[in-house]
Structure 1
Amino acid sequence: MFARVSDTDFNQQRLYDELVAGCAASPGGIVTFTGLVRDFNDNGKIDGLSLEHYPPMTEHAMRSLAEQAISRFALTNAGIVHRVGHLSNFSQIVWVGCAASHRASAFDAACYIMDTLKTAVPLWKKEFQNGTGHWVKAKASDADASLAWMKDNDR
């Protein structure tokens, strides 16, 4: 299991290889997700973003989330990498990998991690439009997605 914050870009193949090498048992399915910085928000075009974090707290929360996913979905391994600092549009921002005996568990775990990440991991995002930065407020839809996992343990 690995969970880390990085101020540099990541290599998806290396992360996949690390995930497979760390499997506690032979996986039957592996699901990965890579999130990219969009070039727009609800108000129109953006010119990149910046992410800040509190290193000890953020890394601990990400490890805890990966451990929860391993336990809840019987994963053979999981990994999370999230970038911080200034990121240009279309840059890689987050990577999640889940390995399990069965594909459904790997898919569910990856969704669980992504749905929970925005509410359980302390990261602060500032989007830039026309040279001005604006802090992004928490969205109700993110809280709803995370809450759905708490309400439905069989999901």
Structure 2
Amino acid sequence: MSTPDRTHHAPDKPQFRPTIDERANHCFGCGPANPQGLHLIFTTDASNPAAITATADVNLTRLHEGPPGYIHGGIVAALLDEAMSKLNRPLNVLAMTRHMEIDYLRPAPLHRSLVLEGRHLRREGRKLFHLAELRLPEGTVLARAHGLFIALDEKLLAQAGLTQPEG
């Protein structure tokens, strides 16, 4: 079966390009369509714009194991990064991680309910400063991260076809 040659055909109207949000359904952290993903579901509280939080329950299995019985450190880093990234939407920005610093305070156990929380700290122009913690339900902090996110320029995103035009 041959495939039509489309190299010389210009479409009659602009082709639909999914937005970054629409493509996020395959995100490793929160994408429901990613069979290998973490499938995190966040609750965001933006009632106080100066103290926005994003919280998710976490209970990982041996698939995410590092040391026997504990979550791999790279997965812990992904969890913390994901919690901080969820703070950007209520701030009405698309931002990417620029820098992240992690303190691994205690091993994070597998097969146990954990709490993942991100908190917005402050904004300086395009720079967004966030904090995230992975905790036991009773409050013991297992890992903590500070992150710097950079808000992306919407005009550059539009030029690259990564956003939908308004209208």
| Structure with the bigger percentage of strand | 1
Whichever of the two has the greater Rg, that structure is 2
For the criterion TM > 0.5, the same-fold answer is no
The TM-score normalised by the length of structure 2 is 0.27
| Structure with the bigger percentage of helix | 1
